[in-house]
A and B are shown apart, each in its own frame.
Chain A
């Protein structure tokens, strides 16, 4: 599964927040049809990297290439045009809207004919497709009409994941997608990750759960203090090695 040109590649990305250098010349790459786990301690820069690669963060310097060509990911719209979708750590759902409205927010299906031109929406179609997407994920979203703000953390997470999976065509970022999920739902998400990968999409999976990482990832890239300090083949590594890399025991100097 090693193609020569990564679907998404970052070189030397740097971003500081005041005195904190959240990203410090970080490199990253992922191929189409590959699951890359991104791991690192709290504050290592994982979420910041995801934001940079999904058009949610301006960079101080560095270069991003999509399928070999340099791209300017200056907005989420630019990213989703390329087929890059993200499940953010804070989910980014609108709590007062229902699951279907959240699923299709920004990409509503217009009502057929003149009504659609006037701005009316095909609510029924969006509801049906959302429900199908949730069922696909094995998510227990009971109501299509209640606001998501009243739903459990796991249900909201499932909705956010289903939304990203449904729209991603190139790369999907999942920032700690299983953090709020039960055992069954976690299995479902890991299963979904494999299924999305098999469609040829690159999946970036962020998690603090090492068994999950080793189970689902093809490669593991380790961030520490805003840098990528190691890349492992998931099949050839183990928990001890990963933890050592994250905590800086491997690189000795530490930085």
Chain B
């Protein structure tokens, strides 16, 4: 009796099909549409207030470039939060991986692709190891993710400072800074780092929404016990996901080295919170089981556009933090209402909230 055998006594109906699913709605989820509208409105407001500066490509390009590294981190965080977990350690793992990678590249010497490639592999592997440590402690030792990653947050940052004596390493192969750091896609003005980030985001977006690995991620976050009972290897899934988050933080470490030309040890203390905020603003439920990659990307752009726009229109940029805080709380509020609606068993709650959004706006 193989496990994958077709169910007995369940004939396949030839032409019957359930309602044709709205593919786009499935892929993006409803809250990410709402948040996309918010982003568009913010964008239009800044365009009206600063029509010559804000919407031109040089400025947009700047925003896109600024978001790229966070986007790589946001991928892992989306998977993690869908399992109802959290990963506070990404900023520190980014720094630690960057430091180790920079040290190794320094030791090898040279500023060519060979050195850079070794640096890349080292950064990803080091990140992966931190992620595996997180995953094992969470899945096997059953320590809550908040505590585990709070611990590795401190440990990774502390060790990075031990390794460097707290002094940033500023030697980064020039091939990295020239291409990934500041370079454009050949023949365009699109930042290379952004294209790289986009490709990785799309790949993992497909994995999250279209493959078994993605399905199991949602299943574990939705009902861990149910997943276990049907034979989903929950522990392995969790370890893989934290390992993924760590590996991506490692990659982000190299991207950060390339972009800033320094290990920037002190520069990542807010990174974890910024990424978590973006994921949550994008409609991923901190209670697990629900979320989209698309939403996370939109969620990243809202703080970035606000910050950029405030600077341009001459508002103190500190207001950005206030605005992002408000958006964050609003996003979780919507999530809570949605969960309450689901608990009441109203089948079409998503449509209701979308239409109410349309009718109430303006």
Residues of A in contact with B (beta carbons under 8 Å apart): 56, 75-77, 80-83, 86, 88, 92-97, 100-101, 105-110, 118-121, 124-125, 127-129, 131-133, 135-136, 142-147, 149-152, 165-167, 169, 199
> CB of B12 within 8 A of chain A?
yes
Q: Contacting chain A: which of B153-161, B226-234, B308-316? A: B226-234
Q: Can you list, as one digit per residue, whether each of B170-213 has a CB less than 8 Å from chain A (1) or not (0)?
A: 00000000000000000000000000000000000001001111
Give B270 Cβ to nearest chain A Cβ, in Å: 30
CA distance A120 to B211 in the complex (A): 4
Closest to B21 in A: A145
With contacts A119-B213, A127-B17, A151-B345 known, is A95 near B223, CB below 8 A? yes
B289 engages A94 (CB within 8 Å): yes
Smallest Cβ-Cβ distance to B20: which chain A residue: A145
- The stretch of B2-10, B56-64, B129-137, B139-147 in contact with A is B2-10
A92 x B1 contact (CB < 8 A): no
B18 near A143 with CB under 8 A, answer yes
Q: Separation in Å of the B184 CB from the closest CB of chain A?
A: 31
Interface range, B side: 35 or more
Q: With a CB–CB cut-off of 8 A, which chain B residues contact A86?
A: 229
The answer to whether A77 touches B17 (Cβ under 8 A) is: no
Q: Hey, which chain A residues are within 8 Å of B207, CB to CB?
A: 119
CB within 8 Å for A150 and B289 given contacts A96-B222, A199-B9: no
Q: Are B223 and A166 within 8 A (Cβ)?
A: no
Give A146 to B22 CA distance when docked, in angstroms: 11
A119 B10 Cβ-Cβ under 8 A: no
How far apart sit A204 and B273, CA to CA, in the bound complex (Å)?
51
A129 to B14 CA separation, bound complex (whole angstroms): 10
Contact sample, A vs B, 5 pairs, CB 8 Å cutoff: A118-B211, A120-B211, A129-B7, A132-B10, A166-B8
Whether the Cβ atoms of A143 and B19 lie closer than 8 Å is yes
B103 located at the interface, meaning its Cβ lies under 8 Å from any Cβ of chain A in the complex: no
In the complex where A97-B218, A143-B18 touch, is A105 in contact with B227 (Cβ < 8 A)? Answer: yes
**Are B215 and A121 interface neighbours, CB within 8 A?**
yes
8 Å CB contact of A106 from B8, B211, B230? B230
The A-contacting residues of B in range 13-29, CB under 8 angstroms, are 13, 16-19, 21, 26
Contact A125 B213 (CB under 8 A): no
B82 to chain A, nearest CB (A): 9
Q: Is the CB of A97 within 8 A of B211?
A: no
Taken together as a complex, chains A and B put the C-alpha atoms of A128 and B18 apart, in Å, by: 7
Most chain B beta-carbon neighbours within 10 Å: one of A88, A107, A124: A107
Let me know if B215 and A108 touch, CB within 8 A.
yes
Q: Quick one: which of B13, B218, B230 contacts A128, CB cutoff 8 A?
A: B13
A93 touches B226 (CB 8 A): yes
Given contacts A95-B222, A97-B218, A101-B215, contact A146 B230 (CB under 8 A): no
Q: Does B252 contact A (CB under 8 A)?
A: no
**When the two chains form their complex, are residues B289 and A136 in contact, meaning their CB atoms are under 8 A apart?**
no
CA gap between A165 and B6 in the complex, in Å:
12
Provided the pairs A101-B215, A167-B7 are in contact, do residues A94 and B226 lie with their beta carbons within 8 angstroms?
yes
Contact B16 A131 (CB under 8 A): yes
Docked CA distance A167–B4 (Å): 10
Q: Is the CB of B11 within 8 A of A95?
A: no
| Chain B residue with the shortest CB-CB distance to A91 | B226
**B211 / chain A contacts, CB cutoff of 8 Å:** 118-121
Quick check: is B342 within 8 A (CB to CB) of the other chain?
Answer: yes
**B347 interface residue (CB < 8 Å to A):** yes
| Residues from chain B with Cβ under 8 Å of A56 in the complex | 229
